[in-house]
A and B are shown apart, each in its own frame.
Chain A
Amino acid sequence: MARAGLWAALGLLALPVLAGLAGVIGPAFGYLPALGRSTWSFEPWQAVLGWPGLGAAVRLSVVTGVLATGISLALTLLIVAAWQGTRSFLWITRALAPLLSLPHAAAAFGLAFLIAPSGWIARGLSPWATGWERPPDLLIVNDPWGLALVAGLVVKEVPFLLLMVLAALPQTDSLRAQMVARSLGYGRVTGWMKSVAPRVYAQIRLPVYAVLAYSMSVVDVALILGPTRPPTLAVQILEWMTHPDLGMRFQAAAAALLQLGLVLGVLALWRLAEIAVARWGRDWAAGGARGLGADAVLRPLGAGAALGIGLAVGLGLAGLLVWSFAGLWQFPALWPDSLSLRVWSGQMSALQRRLWDTALIALGATGIALALSIAALQAGARGTSASLIYLPLIVPQIAFLPGLATFALVLGVDGTRWAVMGAHLVFVLPYVFLALADPWRAWDHRAGLVAAGLGAGPARVLWAVRLPMLTRALCVAFAVGFATSVAQYLPTLLIGAGRVSTVTTEAVALAASGNRRLIGVWAVVQMALPMAVFAVALMAPALIFRRRQGMQIG
């Protein structure tokens, strides 16, 4: 029974990915009987290779992906190296943690609003510093180099990697290692990098790979912040996938395989770079340089990075909120001339419908994910199964979802809420599992032994002792899963086939419209929904167990 849960969870993780990949291979070579093509050919590949934007799109995907990952990793390590063990570090982690529940798209919209030529930064500097009387004609958002895209990814990935590092630190004996390094005369950052970083990196390697694969193939953030002519490869694949001419699906499939190859290739190069850095790092560490002077520069830099990310996202979200209520708002005024509920009330009925669908899909997917995670953990999932958890996070969505969408189409389930819920489950499950796994294992097994000694069987130990004691962790895992589901763009779009949409697909669909007030409304709702669930998830256990001090901590 318990074993069955484990296999169900693992199957759910691996099968859709493998089936989806299988589902793109046929069309990529011109074979898709459902569309009346039952001969194999290289035509789709010729179409992809013949597309004039291919070189630029591939270059963009690789460069933005590697840059975003490299910068995020460097900033994360810098922040921890410079500030671990200080009071400021607690503040930094507390300030950045809420950013995790924020959907990528909402953060990207916020950043776009902030840095746009008509955004708060330009307004704050105009006209006294810039001389601009009207928004300048500058391509800051959607810049052809993808720098805005990189920035949008970095503000979301640094909080994620930071959390991964925090989870890894207790297993690295970091505080004592740092103390030894300091007592040998090392500077804070240099000592940490030389003594702790190698151990931490070994622990966060898989999350880093997930960030790299995600950054190279992200669609929603690229639609909002990325270049347009040509876009990144992933965005182009989506364009072909959703083209009214179903024949374009063949070259979409071929490009999806190309995207997969790109990600795997870059992952392999990243691995080689790791080896090279490790070799160089051993010499560097053994070289004995204390790096005492570096702290004066690097510590403020780390604090500045954390502050900058917090401010950029915070101001960006505030900007979304203000725009959603703005009446007339002339440049370079910092505040609208008037506020109104006009846009909100105009969207109310559409909002209600989408919120209902979004919440229903998220509740379903998260509920199932939670049950499967508990079953898998109860069956003792660990080791190899734990790395399998990362499969849907490392294989790019854009590489296997088209295949899954094709299967859904053939089976006639595309465009149903159930199919969308199932597709969400593939991505919700790993995050719920990861959120629950550590507290689950940290639970004191002696409590179970005592209960068994009192005559409680395994089921009663689970339901009456272990699950209640883990209420808080269960609530957090639920909130993580819910936020993950709400944030899904591509699965909703491709499996929903235009007939099921959520606040996220609605918001991203508005990206090209340039209607700031409308975008503001939908992005605010998209960010508020997971945050509200997080707030409830943190408050509910505290409320239920308000008279149980033993349940307050941990």
Chain B
Amino acid sequence: MSLRLEKLEIARAGAVMVRIDREIGPGEVLSVMGPSGCGKSTLLAALVGALPEAFALRGRVWLEGRDMTRLLPHQRRMGILFQDDLLFPHLSVAGNLGFGLARGVADRAGVIDRALREAGLEAMGARDPATLSGGQRARVALMRVLLSEPRALLLDEPFSKLDAGLRAQMREFVFARARARGLPVVLVTHDRADARAAGGAVVSVTGDAVAL
């Protein structure tokens, strides 16, 4: 289970802004660092298959040996987390988790209960997501992604809106689960502490190694 970005280049109006050639093994994290506006989020948009038309993509994205480059977003099985939790406001906590869980899974309620317990949210399934704390919502968002059984995890500054104490906790929570499931992770961030906690290679959008 690995994610390979093969000679990936993203250009806008002919100017190359992102250039990466990397392989991320199971449970590994590739951190992409840079200031805002450098193209980090564009890289993630390209990986999920939602690159705006103004950009041109070259190279290939391989996941577990399959070429993802031309697939639609929902066919790629790459889960994504943003700095906002983006829980669906019209669904309960359990409803959000159920949205992530594939159809045809037996004992849905049991699976959702176990996920809630893993996130320290026991018996909160019926709650309105708007009534949870920021940390709780972030954990629900992660569990929702994990229940969808992604083959890779993409993180777009996922900790930047949490306050300092919570941030360290949440980093630990996310990276531990990604490692346990053997997921390759791409993290884009402008926060060195995020990249340090991730523990993997750290590069700029043009693929150069970044010293922390």
Contact = CB atoms under 8 A, between A and B. Distances in A.
Contacts of A548: 89-90, 128, 130
Contact of B86 (A447, A457, A461): A447
Contact of B77 (A455, A458, A469): A455
B74 A452 contact: yes
A540 interface: no
Contacts of B89: 469, 548-551
Interface in A191-232: none
A453 B145 contact: yes
B40 to A, nearest CB: 15
Contacts of B88: 447, 451, 465, 468-469
A457 B154 CA distance: 19
B131 interface: yes
Interface in A415-466: 444, 446-447, 449-458, 460-461, 464-465
- With most chain B CB atoms within 10 A of its CB, the pick from A450, A451, A468, A550 is A450
B160 interface: no
Interface string B151-192: 000100000000000000000000000000000000000000
A451 B99 contact: yes
B38 interface: no
A450 B82 contact: yes
A242 interface: no
A545 interface: yes
A456 B99 contact: yes
A454 B73 CA distance: 9
B2 interface: no
A547 interface: yes
A471 interface: yes
B209 interface: no
- With most chain B CB atoms within 10 A of its CB, the pick from A451, A468, A545 is A451
- With most chain B CB atoms within 10 A of its CB, the pick from A447, A464, A469, A548 is A548
B17 to A, nearest CB: 20
A550 B130 contact: yes
Interface residues of B, number: 31
A138 B136 CA distance: 72
Given A446-B82, A447-B86, A450-B80, A455 B74 contact: yes
Contacts of B74: 451-453, 455-458, 460-461
Contacts of A451: 74, 88, 99
Interface in B56-92: 72-74, 76-82, 84, 86-90
A458 to B, nearest CB: 7
A471 B82 CA distance: 24
A455 B148 contact: yes
A465 B100 CA distance: 12
A454 B128 contact: no
B129 A454 contact: no
A468 B90 contact: yes
B150 interface: yes
B90 A469 contact: yes
B73 A449 contact: yes
A551 B90 CA distance: 6
Interface in B29-44: none
B90 A454 contact: no
B50 interface: yes
A455 B78 CA distance: 9
Contacts of A447: 86, 88
Interface string B4-33: 000000000000000000000000000000
A469 B129 CA distance: 14
A454 B99 contact: yes
Contacts of A456: 74, 99
B109 interface: no
Contacts of A454: 79, 99-100, 144-145, 148
B102 interface: yes
Interface string A525-554: 000000000000000000001011111000
Nearest to B50: A449
A468 B128 CA distance: 15
A461 B50 CA distance: 14
B205 to A, nearest CB: 20
Contacts of A452: 48-50, 72-74
Contacts of A446: 82, 84, 86
A457 B99 CA distance: 12
Nearest to A468: B90
A256 to B, nearest CB: 44
A458 B74 CA distance: 8
A465 B90 CA distance: 8
A394 B57 CA distance: 44
A474 to B, nearest CB: 12
Nearest to A447: B86
A449 B80 contact: yes
Contacts of A545: 90
- With most chain A CB atoms within 10 A of its CB, the pick from B80, B90, B100, B144 is B90
B86 A450 contact: yes
Nearest to B73: A452
B89 to A, nearest CB: 3
Contact of B148 (A449, A453, A458, A550): A453
A441 to B, nearest CB: 15
Contacts of B102: 455
Nearest to B82: A446
A460 B102 CA distance: 13
A172 B100 CA distance: 40
B30 to A, nearest CB: 18
Interface of A: 444, 446-447, 449-458, 460-461, 464-465, 468-469, 471, 545, 547-551
Q: Which 9 A-B pairs have the closest CB atoms?
A: A550-B89, A452-B73, A549-B130, A550-B130, A454-B148, A468-B90, A453-B80, A452-B74, A454-B100
11 contacts: A444-B86, A449-B50, A449-B80, A450-B82, A453-B148, A454-B145, A455-B77, A460-B74, A469-B89, A547-B128, A550-B89
Given A451-B88, A549-B89, 20 more contacts: A446-B82, A447-B86, A447-B88, A450-B81, A452-B48, A452-B50, A453-B74, A453-B78, A453-B80, A454-B148, A458-B74, A461-B74, A468-B90, A548-B89, A548-B90, A548-B128, A549-B128, A549-B131, A550-B89, A551-B89
